[in-house]
Amino acid sequence: MAASVGEEPAEEGEVVAKLGSYGWEVRLLVGGGEEESEAAAAETMLLWGIQQPTHSKPNAYVAQSSLTLALEACGHSLSILQSPSSLGTPGVTGAVMWDSGVVLGKFLEHAVDSGKLVLQDKKVVELGSGCGLVGCIAALLGARVILTDLPDRLRLLKKNVETNLRYGNMRGSATVRELTWGYDPDIELIEPLPDYVLGSDVIYNEEAVVDLLDTLMQLCGTQTTIFLAGELRNDTVLEYFLEAAMKDFVIGRVPQEQFHPDYRSRRVVMYVLIKKRNQLT
């Protein structure tokens, strides 16, 4: 029998499992003790070797020189404002949308429509929201979303939330809060701990990895499922993140077949993470 979408047979040596509250099986990155570095290296080699990300077009779903990104999602026409001129400012990356944000947002819609993910009434925290597309889609799918970013990045984010979530029949809700990775999150973010933590294109800088993982640890409880999507630009940074993350989290890669059929890119990878049992307090 042919495998249906999301149920691709595992290749020899691959371990697949359902993680957290996500209903499709993902491909586990298996490592423990010293094997973590081997598993992280094997994963990046496989991604760059098999997916050949450099052969795919960057910015397939975004136009970073435009003032708006238009996207149909959850039955609405979203219009995400961008500030291309701010991109030249050192350290400012969230002033425009990135492909992995579009892929993650449309993936959430697809997974909910397919009955593999429930966001209705769930608490969701998004990290490094940038222009806010992912958080807006999660709110349209019924979640109670807190979109977060660095303090000086919140103006555009608030504007996009206000502009795109003003429907009378909104199923979920969205608020914007400051959160710098590595600092203690506001009580509102952790009491209660979120059901889901989302992040797109947040693993691109080796220096920020330790702080990002610290924040993920603080936000993650027994019931928390993390989805991280990222663009395959730098294998060293991804490998560094995976090796460090594997110490505290079980990690599974979401197969491309589970992405939204119209928003699949060999340059984008997506992981599901849950906290390891021995890390739960």
Ligand X SMILES: C[S@@+](CC[C@H](N)C(=O)[O-])C[C@H]1O[C@@H](n2cnc3c(N)ncnc32)[C@H](O)[C@@H]1O
Applying CB under 6 A, the span of 43-51, 98-106, 185-193, 237-245 interacting with ligand X comes to: 98-106
> Does residue 163 bind ligand X (CB under 6 A)?
no
> Does residue 275 bind ligand X (CB under 6 A)?
no
The rounded distance, in Å, linking the Cα atoms of 99 and 260 is 13
> Does residue 241 bind ligand X (CB under 6 A)?
no
27 closest CA partner among 51, 11, 5: 11
Of the two residues 13 and 88, which places its CB atom closer to ligand X in the complex? Answer: 88
Query: Is the previous residue joined to 194 through a cis bond, with omega within 30 degrees of 0?
Result: no
210 closest CA partner among 231, 240, 236: 240
What DSSP line would sit under 248-268, residue for residue? Answer: TEEEEEPPGGGS-TTS--TTE
- Among residues 93, 114, 163, 223, which is the contact residue for ligand X, using CB under 6 A? 93
> Does residue 150 bind ligand X (CB under 6 A)?
yes
Site string for ligand X, 176-195 (x = CB under 6 A): ---xxx--------------
- Among residues 153, 253, 260, 267, which is the contact residue for ligand X, using CB under 6 A? 153
- Among residues 47, 97, 140, 237, which is the contact residue for ligand X, using CB under 6 A? 97
- What is each CA distance from 83 to 67, 124, 174, 214, 261, in whole angstroms? 6, 26, 21, 29, 29
> Does residue 230 bind ligand X (CB under 6 A)?
no
- Among residues 42, 193, 211, 264, which is the contact residue for ligand X, using CB under 6 A? 211
The rounded distance, in Å, linking the Cα atoms of 267 and 183 is 31
Q: Are 61 and 44 in contact (CB under 8 A)?
A: no
- Tell me the closest approach of the beta carbon of residue 229 to ligand X, in angstroms: 8
Residue with smallest beta-carbon separation from ligand X? 94
- Tell me the closest approach of the beta carbon of residue 200 to ligand X, in angstroms: 3
> Does residue 89 bind ligand X (CB under 6 A)?
no
- Tell me the closest approach of the beta carbon of residue 12 to ligand X, in angstroms: 34
Beta carbons within 10 angstroms of residue 239's beta carbon: 20
Q: What angle do CA 145, 146, 147 make, to 5 degrees?
A: 110
> Does residue 101 bind ligand X (CB under 6 A)?
yes
123 closest CA partner among 135, 112, 111, 133: 135
- Tell me the closest approach of the beta carbon of residue 8 to ligand X, in angstroms: 26
> Does residue 220 bind ligand X (CB under 6 A)?
no
Q: By the criterion CB under 6 A, which residues form the site for ligand X?
A: 93-94, 97-98, 100-101, 128-131, 149-150, 153, 179-181, 200-202, 204, 208, 211
